[in-house]
Every structure is written in structure tokens, then in C-alpha cells.
Structure 1
């Protein structure tokens, strides 16, 4: 590997990896403190036994979790809590499982921290003179449309499962209220911190350090090296390295030719469609890197790539790291997810998302 390629790789990947480690520690310790358990139990009480209201509150919780703490947090930590809640209340686990994995992907457009692909795009956005404010200006409407379309399709698919009532379970008492309040406050403050314009690795790392200090004081037995996402760091690093090398060998040129050129709805849709297809074949992170040159000097075309790699990876299990992690959480709860059912449902949603989100992008671009 040449020195300039290594320097570019470190410059692009290192901040992403630092953010990944920091936000994972925050999410893991927040889960230990009971933030997700209390949030879901509170939603169950607020719904007052109505299944559709509970589902709507889970939609809000999954969307907020994805936007602020990233799609991997929703897939890894919120999914088992929601599945346990659904099983305890004897409501459809399939409906709630599909809600978490779909929203983990489709709700990840709004902020740079919502998806690692978004973080990667910031480097190019800054080169094009677009800061976080400009990024949000281009993504807010496609992000809103992505969530609304996802919820609409989920509501139609699981309309029979979302009627009826359940018995309200007694609330779970957190083992340490100080840890719960501190962790919840940190999670709430991260959202505003991530849109201040500073490198997102800093607030994520600071939040992780703060929670580690608090846990050292209150419950140090919960701390350990297992909190760090070693496997994810290795996987992401290997994927980035492979795609950087393949990009130099012509992969980016091939995908650029398939993506076309130009601005406007048809051009954005073609680019987003190519990105979605690539994500389902080779995973969304390398797909983004390979397709970034196809966006040229257009921030709007870059967002079209993000629409494809964020909202498109719903046809194969390996299309995004979050989907793989979600599948493992389902398996751990004894829930079998058949690949062809997952793919067929994705075929209903993904084309709608690509059309509606790129149309929204054409409006704001």
C-alpha cells in the first residue's frame, strides 16, 4: 500500500473508528444503566394496553435512537429490549422486530452520526464547502420521507398484528438511579452536541469517558474490555482497506459509469438505485466509498448516494452491519428470520423509499 493511500485511509477512517468506539461505549453503558428498558417499559404504560399505540411509541423510540445514537445502537441494544417487551406482553414479535431493523436503516439519514456512511460523507462535504448545517438542509426532507414511508408500509404489512390489547406489566426498577439519570441525560445531550459543527468523535468520546468515570464510582464491575467493539472495528477497517484498493483498480469507475451524471430527480434516482444495489451485494460501507466519486462535485448527488446505501440495504442480511447485528439478536431470542421473507418484504419497501426520498431530495436541492 502506497504512502498516500495509507495517509488518505487514516484521514478518512480514524475519526469514524473513534466515533464508533465512543458511541458504542455510551450505548452499552446506557443499556446496563437501564435507559432502554425504562424507555420501553414507559412506552408500554403510556400506551395503556393498546398494541398500535405501543407500536407507534416504539417507532418514535427507534427513530430517536437511530438519529442520535446511530443505527447500530438500535440494532444491537434496542432490538433485544423491544423483543423482550413484545414477548412479555404477548404481542407480535415479528412486527416489532421488523420495525427495529427497518427504522435502524431508514431513519439514519438525518444527522452525520446516524450512520457511518454519513460520517464518511462529511469529509467530502467539507471539501465541497458544505458544513453540518448544509448537510442537514439537504437531508431533513428525505429523512422525514424515509421514516414516514417505512412506517406506512409497516402499518400495512402488520395491520392485523397491531390491533387488540395487552395486559400492562409492572415497571422494572433500575438497579442504580444515579446511573440511569446520568446515562439518560448524556444520551439526550448528545443530539445537540452532534450538530454544533465540532468533529463528532469529540462529543462521543467525551460522553463515553464521562460514563466510564461515573460507573467507576457507582458500579465498576460493569466495566470491561468487552464494552469495546473490537470485531466491528476490525470489520470496518478491513472493508475500508479493500474498497480503497479496489477503487484504485477501477471499481469506482465501473460504478460511476452505471450511476450516470446530472442533477434532478431522474439522475438522483439512478444514482441512489445503483448505490442500493451495490450495498446489497457488497455491504453499504464499501458501497458508499466506491460510489463517492460518482457524485462528482455535487452535494445533492452525494446525498443521493446516501439514500441508496442507507435506505437500500434491506434485501440481504449482509447489506449493512446493523442488519447482521439485528439478525444475531433475533437468533439469541429464538426468533427465526427467513432470508426470503426478509428479502420479499424489502422488495416492497426499498423501491418506494428510493423513489420518494430522491423526489424529496430534488425538492430541497
Structure 2
């Protein structure tokens, strides 16, 4: 499969799902969801946190890790600040679950979409993904609960639900987001329902709020970065990179493959790490999933481990929440080995 044929559906999906997420955000879908979570939690931070865990996991699985890391992060940080809760609990919840919850469906991560052609069909992907996906989320939740146990004991005053300016836009955007879930697991090429959903929302906003339709909705920088990464890895692979990685990763141990992929992702971002190592893992579905565990769940040591993490850091900076490289690293050193090893063990179960 040539480069253009592989990259085109991925880029279409990336553009479409970003437009959907941005317009849904402007329709206050995520704001209302976060505030409803605050109401349901009835003043207890641990209940609110569990609801954010569910929301972050669901957004990552259905609308990709970028949606969770980029759009949910400012919402929950703003909510935490208004409620008087230390924001790092929610900051790390969104970025960690954006990575570790992104195994279940092909649409959850660009790496999964790239890997899909190595599986016979969607069912064969889900057959090997569901156990490590559940393990990765559960391990992440446990580690977060341990690290932030003091914050989870706090209480807060329940705030009022924010008003919705345009109920047509709100319910239309909510409907598109909800329908994407079954559409993405139907077996249809994911670029199609994402494109239909994006066009539907663009049409709705054109009638109700034309000012929201701007060229800045398109993730131009992200798309350009993906294209550059594809091209760069293709060049390096043609000049001996694959042979080096094959010797390091080995041919038998799935854990060794995952660890090698995780190290590569933390050194040079998870997309080029996946692309460089794909030929090494292409001989079996289990090795492909081990590779995805490494690049998806194992990229949480460095702030440049994935594009989503870089974008998340920008949102944290904009919200004046300081996340230093050391703060990110030492917490990642606790989570990453546990989630990679645990997910690989679940894969072999």
C-alpha cells in the first residue's frame, strides 16, 4: 500500500473529527457534560473525578485522544478552578486517559487507524484489543487514585449548570457525537461517518451561527506534522532504521516489542515510532497490538511523546496550570511501566 493511499483516509478522519469536536465545543456540549458531572457528584471530588474518568474515556474511545486532551482539558481545568479543586488531578486524568484509553477502537488513535489494514476486519481488531484496553484504563485509574488520594477527599459547592445559547446547535451537536459511536464500530471506513458528521454540523452552524465557521477549525498544523512524520520515517526506514529496530525489539517477546516501541515514542513521538516499527510487528495480530500498547500507552514519559500531549500542554499553559517536564516525567515513571506490562499480560490472557 503506497503512502498516499495510507495517509489519505487518516487525514480525512483527523480533519473531520477535529471539526466535529470544535463545533461541539462551541455548542457547549462538553461544558454542559462537565457541569452535569459536577451536579451528579453532589459536592464530592472523588465522585466528580470518577465521572470525569468516564467522560474522558468515552471521548477518547469515540472521538480520539486529541479530542480528550485538547478539548476536555480546558473544560475540566476551568471547572476545577471554579470549584476550588487542585487542577493537576484533572489535568493528569485527561492526558493519561487520552493515551491509555486509546486502544479499544481504530478511531481512538491515529496509530490504530494506521494499523487497521494489518487486521482482517474490525472484529479481528476488537478480538485482541478489548482485554488490554480494559487493563490499561483500570491501571491508569488506580494509579491516579493513589497519586492524588488527598485531593479526592475534598468537597465543593455544586455550581449552577451553564445556560445553552442555542438549543438546536446543542442537541444537534450532541446527536452527532452520540451517533458517531455506533457508526465507528459498524465496519464502515471511519472517514465516511466522520465526514458526514462534520458536514452535518457545518451545515447546521451555517444556518444558526455562521460566524463560528472559520478556517481555523481545520487542524492545518497537525495535518502538516503528520505528513512530515510519514515522509521522514519512510526515508529513515529506507536507509537501515528497520534493521536496527528489529534487532532491538526481537522477534518473539511481545513485552520486549512494547517496551522498545514505548522508548521510541518517548524519544521521537508515537507516530514515527509506530511507522518505523510496523514492519517488525506485522507478522501477527498480537504483535501488532503489542506495538500499539507501546506507542499508545507507553508514550507518557515525555511531553513530546505524542501530538496530543503537546497540545494538552499548550492548553494547560493557557489555563495557567504549570506542568514541568520533571512533574510529568516522575509521575509517568510510575504509570508507564505498570500500564505497559499490565496491558501486555492482558493481551496474552
* Alpha-carbon separation, structure 2, partners of 1:17 and 1:251: 25
* Alpha-carbon separation, structure 2, partners of 1:46 and 1:299: 41
* Alpha-carbon separation, structure 2, partners of 1:181 and 1:197: 26
- Residue 109 of structure 1 corresponds to 103
Deviation track 1:85-125 (CA, whole Å, cap 9, x = no partner) reads: 00001112011101000001110000000000000001222
- Residue 330 of structure 1 corresponds to 316
* Alpha-carbon separation, structure 2, partners of 1:42 and 1:341: 30
- Residue 220 of structure 1 corresponds to 210
After TM superposition, the runs of 4+ consecutive aligned structure 1 residues lying more than 6 A away are none
The CA deviation at 1:256 is 1.3
Matched, 1:172 2:158: no
TM-score, normalization by structure 2 = 0.99
CA contact (8 A) 2:100 2:136 kept: yes
2:266 to 273, 280, 290: 280
Matched, 1:194 2:187: no
2:232 to 235, 242, 248: 242
The CA deviation at 1:297 is 1.6
CA RMSD between the two structures: 0.8
The CA deviation at 1:44 is 0.2
- Residue 160 of structure 1 corresponds to 150
* Alpha-carbon separation, structure 2, partners of 1:300 and 1:252: 19
SS in 1 for 2:150: coil
- Residue 248 of structure 2 corresponds to 258
Structure 1 segment 309-348 matched on structure 2, within 5 A:
309-348=295-334
2:140 to 150, 153, 165: 150
The CA deviation at 1:245 is 1.1
Structure 1 segment 70-109 matched on structure 2, within 5 A:
70-109=64-103
- Residue 44 of structure 1 corresponds to 38
The CA deviation at 1:296 is 3.4
* Alpha-carbon separation, structure 2, partners of 1:337 and 1:185: 35
- Residue 66 of structure 1 corresponds to 60
CA contact (8 A) 2:30 2:72 kept: yes
- Residue 335 of structure 2 corresponds to 349
The CA deviation at 1:174 is 1.1
Matched, 1:299 2:285: yes
Matched, 1:290 2:276: yes
- Residue 182 of structure 1 corresponds to 172
Report how many aligned residue pairs link the two structures: 349
The CA deviation at 1:196 is 1.1
The CA deviation at 1:237 is 0.4
TM-score, normalization by structure 1 = 0.95
Matched, 1:207 2:197: yes
The CA deviation at 1:197 is 1.0
Gaps of 5+ in 2: none
The CA deviation at 1:253 is 1.6
CA contact (8 A) 1:12 1:123 kept: no
